[in-house]
A and B are shown apart, each in its own frame.
Chain A
Amino acid sequence: MSAVIDTHAQDHHHGPAKGISRWLFTTNHKDIGSMYLMFSFAMFLLGGSMAMVIRAELFQPGLQIVEPEFFNQMTTMHGLIMVFGAVMPAFVGLANWMLPLMIGAPDMALPRMNNWSFWLLPCAFLILVSTLFMQGGAPNFGWTFYAPLSTTYGPPSTTFFIFAVHIMGVSSIMGAINVIATVLNMRAPGMTLMKMPLFVWTWLITAFLLIAVMPVLAGVVTMMLMDIHFGTSFFDASGGGDPVLFQHVFWFFGHPEVYIMILPAFGAISHIVSAFSRKPLFGYASMVYAVGAIAIMSFLVWAHHMFTVGMPLAGQLFFMYATLLIAVPTGVKVFNWVTTMFRGSLSFEAPMLFAVAFIILFTIGGFSGLMLAIAPADFQYHDTYFVVAHFHYVLVPGAIFGIFASAYFWLPKWTGYMYDETLAKTHFWLSFVGMNLAFFPMHFLGLAGMPRRIPDYALQFTNFNMISSVGAFMFAATQLLFLFIVVKCVRGGEKAPAKPWDGAEGLEWTVPSPAPYHTFSTPPEVK
């Protein structure tokens, strides 16, 4: 009996397995975190190259490069890949790497499920991307896949799309269960809920959102499947169904989903702003309450995506008021970050640059969100480039810059080396300029009347579209630099100390850099 325990104990001192089996069978949260992050970056490049096709076609009026049919496939796949393939897995990757380190746990609570939830993702995306090569082409009905365009009028590949979404959903739900189990059960002694780092808090709340809404998404695609293959009429008026029902169900998933993509970034940014201001985060408790309030309210605002579908007046008013209300806790967060910076001792390394840009540009996206919430004005904004500008402002400098900030912040901990600061700053400035050049003119285009999801446009929209395309090419090319910086950092460089940032706080900085394969085998004490 004792011998068994001995070998078991010895196994723990071994490093990772060698070769491909390390990655296929790993249950180590750091390996799985790395795989999530690498997968997400690959999807980011794939989704980005589809955006380049879109921007190249829109560089000039007229049809030059692709047919409208293929253009619609590109907008659809770009959206799906970025949302489900790039942003969400990146945050799960960060959670895998950092949550155990931040709460002083040896690993995630359910390591085998962790492995499975990762490996489902490449399968799901293999199915999704393979639709591009099928007869009739890939899904072409937008990432929101409104019925009946996606049911009665969808291409044959829609069925594959439905199964891909199911598999992604299973993966997300398992990831979320794992986060909740880890955070609720495996915190170091002394770490009460209100002592948890904010990234842990925001991820805990995000995980509950995921568990609440991913089944709704699975439900809506299953209803589509039934409509397409089994003769039901959920969304078909001629059989007694209602196309608008689709939108209600979809956005009941879709609106919490946008918070799923931003809340973990809120958490990470809070750490980074505080670290590089060398000052504790202002209003920790109010930050936690604000995230909780945003999460609960995110279930009550879905129909602000549907102001033009012909809801009754009372419905319009309810969703307008609820949406305006959600600006209050979001405002509280921004005010807290700015106050954290106020009278700090600021320095601007790459993580801080991305974090500051996050606060400014996410707030601009929040402002346009506030404008969109005004229901009468939404009749003019709805489904125009103003909306495209709005959600790219919250997703690119919001989610994506949040991920870049986190990556630079924790890269020394992951690799044991400092990244190249000059290159990282170049990456930041080129991304910042490119991103604003790409997305700011879209506000003007939308206000001037350009609808979204069109492959060709009237002549008065030419100038801003050209500027936007140039910015988009610049932003995309810059991301190859990020790949180079990370590869360079993994291969070597200046040795990173256990705590490379003098203002940083938290258990993850108490372990050496790079973090050993197994950490916190005995839990640390938190006072």
Chain B
Amino acid sequence: MRVHAKRAVALAAGLLLPVTVMAEWTMNMTPGVTSTSNQIYTLHMTILWICVAIGVVVFGVMFWSIFAHRKSRGYKPANFHENTVVEVLWTIVPLAILVAMAIPATATLVEMYDTTESDVDIKITGYQWRWQYEYIDDDFSFFSNMSTPREQIRNRQAKGEHYLLEVDNPVVIPVGKKVRFLLTANDVIHSWWVPEFGVKKDAIPGFINETWTRVDVPGTYRGQCTELCGKDHGYMPVVVKAVPEEEYNVWVAEQREAAETERQLTEKDWTLDELMERGERAYATACAGCHQADGTGLPPTFPALKGSQMALEDMAGHIEIVVNGSPGTSMQAFGNQLSEVDLAAVITYERNAWGNNTGEMVTPKEIFDYKNQQ
């Protein structure tokens, strides 16, 4: 048994090692797992080889001259400096090559733009610095935050295999179905990219962009935000899990149920400790990026909450700024990003953590009423 196990380990290592080594030296685009990404890959390789061929000819002539037509070899210069036939020829030939290249590119583009007849619609909203996925037909939504611990980024902990490319809640899609993505953003422009799908589209505040994919191979696919969106632009990965349809349906049912439970939590009677505990978690994902885990912020852009007048005294102002944000600044409106429970928990936490011991508490019901008054 032991020998077998050892062999199995050795074999696995032997199989895996080249893969990991290869991955670190990846030099080319991935063919990906969708028909779009495959077509893009083919276009990419075609144009690459055309460039290489032109390069070989042009640089070939040049290197021949560099080698053979040297003054140091006593080569006497010719004196020709014009030839209309040649000029016309090297205008027409590249033009023909480009036309030949434009035809398949156009066909692919037309297909990429066909977002009709989708089976699943998912609305993706970019926030500084996380993604929200909303399953429009199924009435639930969630946020997807990077889950790589700060300790790994600060080099205090060994970096994991999917360093910076892992999230708490991946977006789940069924394989073999046409999934349409509707993209928008809440603050600045973001861009949603999964290389293996050949899908990249900007998420623009105030506008909705469309794109689609159909993945045939189940698996986990990783990408990143590709439009500079501020401080943590490098820390908002995209993770997509493509699963078989049955599994997808089970997952959707679970999500719907969880969303329902969450809505009921608003009705519950909360204690200060419960809210503090929940608030600490919500604060870590939603607020700590700017205001820092210890509440000291990064002034002047991100003010400190620890000892701030608003967190200590002005409760109405505190609720308002968290729910509605502060226009013209980086402070977002969290009213639609967080549930009533989380809003109440975060505000309660901010009023009681880091020595802000006000002892005051805001309940989910109060938040619910506040939002309804507006």
Which residues from chain A sit less than 8 Å from chain B, CB to CB? Answer: 61-64, 68-69, 72, 135-136, 140-142, 146, 148-149, 152-153, 155-156, 236-238, 242-244, 277-286, 308-310, 313, 316-317, 320-321, 324-325, 327-328, 331-332, 334-335, 338-347, 356, 359-360, 363-364, 367, 370-371, 374-377, 379-380, 382-384, 443-444, 447-449, 451-460, 462-464
**A370 touching B47 by the CB < 8 A rule?**
yes
B27 CB within 8 Å of chain A: yes
**B155 touching A345 by the CB < 8 A rule?**
no
**B81 touching A62 by the CB < 8 A rule?**
no
**B164 touching A343 by the CB < 8 A rule?**
no
**A242 touching B66 by the CB < 8 A rule?**
no
**B81 touching A282 by the CB < 8 A rule?**
yes
Contact with A345, one of B75, B191, B233 (Cβ below 8 angstroms): B75
- Taking each of B40, B155, B228, which has the highest tally of chain A beta carbons within 10 Å of its own beta carbon? B228
**A277 touching B77 by the CB < 8 A rule?**
yes
**A317 touching B209 by the CB < 8 A rule?**
no
Least Cβ–Cβ distance between B88 and chain A, in angstroms? 9
Least Cβ–Cβ distance between A219 and chain B, in angstroms? 20
CB contact under 8 A between A379 and B198, given known A64-B155, A146-B228: yes
Interface stretch of the complex, out of B53-61, B135-143, B356-364, B365-373: B53-61
User: Please, which residues of chain A bring their CB within 8 A of the CB of B37?
Assistant: 380
**B223 touching A379 by the CB < 8 A rule?**
no
User: Please, which residues of chain B bring their CB within 8 A of the CB of A371?
Assistant: 44, 47-48, 51
Beyond A283-B81, A463-B24: 9 further Cβ-contacts under 8 Å?
A140-B230, A153-B128, A244-B207, A327-B98, A344-B69, A370-B47, A376-B36, A448-B26, A454-B233
Of chain B, the residue at the smallest CB distance from A360 is B59
A308 to B90, CA, bound (A): 32
**A367 touching B44 by the CB < 8 A rule?**
no
CB contact under 8 A between A343 and B207, given known A148-B188, A379-B200: no
**A376 touching B205 by the CB < 8 A rule?**
no
**B163 touching A459 by the CB < 8 A rule?**
yes
A343 to B152, CA, bound (A): 60
CB contact under 8 A between A364 and B55, given known A281-B81, A328-B98, A458-B165: yes
CB neighbors of A among B7-23 (8 A): 23
CB neighbors of A among B196-252 (8 A): 198-202, 204-207, 209-210, 223-235
User: Please, which residues of chain B bring their CB within 8 A of the CB of A455?
Assistant: 234
**A451 touching B226 by the CB < 8 A rule?**
yes
CB contact under 8 A between A341 and B62, given known A146-B228, A308-B200: yes
Of chain A, the residue at the smallest CB distance from B98 is A324
User: Please, which residues of chain B bring their CB within 8 A of the CB of A383?
Assistant: 191, 200, 226-227
Which residues from chain B sit less than 8 Å from chain A, CB to CB? Answer: 23-30, 36-37, 39-40, 43-44, 47-48, 51, 54-55, 58-59, 61-62, 64-66, 69-72, 75-83, 86-87, 90-91, 94-95, 98, 101-102, 105-106, 108-110, 112-113, 128, 152-155, 159, 161-165, 187-189, 191, 193, 195, 198-202, 204-207, 209-210, 223-235, 298, 300-301, 328, 330
Least Cβ–Cβ distance between B95 and chain A, in angstroms? 6
**B76 touching A379 by the CB < 8 A rule?**
no
User: Please, which residues of chain B bring their CB within 8 A of the CB of A449?
Assistant: 30, 195, 223-224
CB contact under 8 A between A380 and B62, given known A278-B71, A324-B102, A328-B94: no
A125 to B292, CA, bound (A): 34
User: Please, which residues of chain A bring their CB within 8 A of the CB of B188?
Assistant: 146, 148-149, 152-153
Least Cβ–Cβ distance between B157 and chain A, in angstroms? 10
CB contact under 8 A between A279 and B109, given known A324-B101, A380-B44: no
Least Cβ–Cβ distance between B332 and chain A, in angstroms? 10
A148 to B44, CA, bound (A): 33
User: Please, which residues of chain A bring their CB within 8 A of the CB of B90?
Assistant: 331-332, 335
**B105 touching A374 by the CB < 8 A rule?**
yes
- Taking each of A61, A277, A454, A455, which has the highest tally of chain B beta carbons within 10 Å of its own beta carbon? A454
**B58 touching A444 by the CB < 8 A rule?**
no
User: Please, which residues of chain A bring their CB within 8 A of the CB of B54?
Assistant: 367
**B91 touching A332 by the CB < 8 A rule?**
yes
Of chain A, the residue at the smallest CB distance from B106 is A317
CB contact under 8 A between A458 and B65, given known A146-B228, A370-B51: no
**A243 touching B205 by the CB < 8 A rule?**
yes
Main secondary structure of the interface of B (DSSP, over half): mixed
**B155 touching A242 by the CB < 8 A rule?**
no
**A345 touching B87 by the CB < 8 A rule?**
no
Least Cβ–Cβ distance between A378 and chain B, in angstroms? 9
User: Please, which residues of chain A bring their CB within 8 A of the CB of B24?
Assistant: 459-460, 462-463
User: Please, which residues of chain A bring their CB within 8 A of the CB of B29?
Assistant: 380, 447-448
The 4 closest A-B pairs by CB, nearest first: A237-B206, A454-B234, A310-B209, A367-B51
Least Cβ–Cβ distance between A135 and chain B, in angstroms? 5
Least Cβ–Cβ distance between A504 and chain B, in angstroms? 14
A382 to B193, CA, bound (A): 10
**A458 touching B62 by the CB < 8 A rule?**
no
**B65 touching A343 by the CB < 8 A rule?**
yes
Of chain A, the residue at the smallest CB distance from B46 is A374
**B231 touching A72 by the CB < 8 A rule?**
yes
**B301 touching A155 by the CB < 8 A rule?**
yes
User: Please, which residues of chain B bring their CB within 8 A of the CB of A334?
Assistant: 58
**A153 touching B187 by the CB < 8 A rule?**
yes
**B231 touching A68 by the CB < 8 A rule?**
yes
User: Please, which residues of chain A bring their CB within 8 A of the CB of B94?
Assistant: 327-328, 331
**A346 touching B51 by the CB < 8 A rule?**
no
Contact with A382, one of B27, B109, B128, B226 (Cβ below 8 angstroms): B226
Identify 23 residue pairs between A and B in the complex whose beta-carbon atoms are under 8 Å apart, listed by A's number: A62-B152, A135-B300, A242-B206, A243-B204, A243-B207, A277-B69, A282-B81, A320-B105, A321-B102, A324-B102, A341-B65, A341-B69, A345-B69, A367-B55, A376-B109, A379-B200, A444-B28, A449-B30, A453-B234, A457-B164, A458-B165, A463-B25, A464-B25
Contact with B39, one of A320, A321, A376 (Cβ below 8 angstroms): A376
User: Please, which residues of chain B bring their CB within 8 A of the CB of A338?
Assistant: 58, 61-62, 65
Contact with A376, one of B40, B155, B193, B224 (Cβ below 8 angstroms): B40
Of chain A, the residue at the smallest CB distance from B111 is A376
Least Cβ–Cβ distance between A460 and chain B, in angstroms? 5
A140 to B300, CA, bound (A): 15
**B47 touching A382 by the CB < 8 A rule?**
no
**A380 touching B40 by the CB < 8 A rule?**
yes
**B55 touching A363 by the CB < 8 A rule?**
yes
A484 to B64, CA, bound (A): 34
**A375 touching B105 by the CB < 8 A rule?**
yes
Of chain B, the residue at the smallest CB distance from A238 is B206
User: Please, which residues of chain B bring their CB within 8 A of the CB of A282?
Assistant: 80-83
CB contact under 8 A between A313 and B110, given known A321-B102, A331-B90: yes
**B51 touching A447 by the CB < 8 A rule?**
no
**B228 touching A72 by the CB < 8 A rule?**
yes
Least Cβ–Cβ distance between A356 and chain B, in angstroms? 7
Least Cβ–Cβ distance between A233 and chain B, in angstroms? 10
Of chain A, the residue at the smallest CB distance from B50 is A370
Contact with A356, one of B25, B30, B64, B66 (Cβ below 8 angstroms): B66
CB contact under 8 A between A325 and B47, given known A278-B71, A279-B78, A332-B91: no
Contact with A344, one of B59, B65, B209 (Cβ below 8 angstroms): B65
Of chain A, the residue at the smallest CB distance from B298 is A69
Of chain A, the residue at the smallest CB distance from B93 is A331
Least Cβ–Cβ distance between B48 and chain A, in angstroms? 7
Least Cβ–Cβ distance between A237 and chain B, in angstroms? 2
User: Please, which residues of chain B bring their CB within 8 A of the CB of A363?
Assistant: 55, 58-59
**B77 touching A344 by the CB < 8 A rule?**
yes
**B65 touching A447 by the CB < 8 A rule?**
no
**A377 touching B86 by the CB < 8 A rule?**
no
User: Please, which residues of chain A bring their CB within 8 A of the CB of B205?
Assistant: 148, 237-238, 243
User: Please, which residues of chain A bring their CB within 8 A of the CB of B155?
Assistant: 62-64
A460 to B30, CA, bound (A): 14
**A339 touching B233 by the CB < 8 A rule?**
no
User: Please, which residues of chain A bring their CB within 8 A of the CB of B91?
Assistant: 328, 331-332
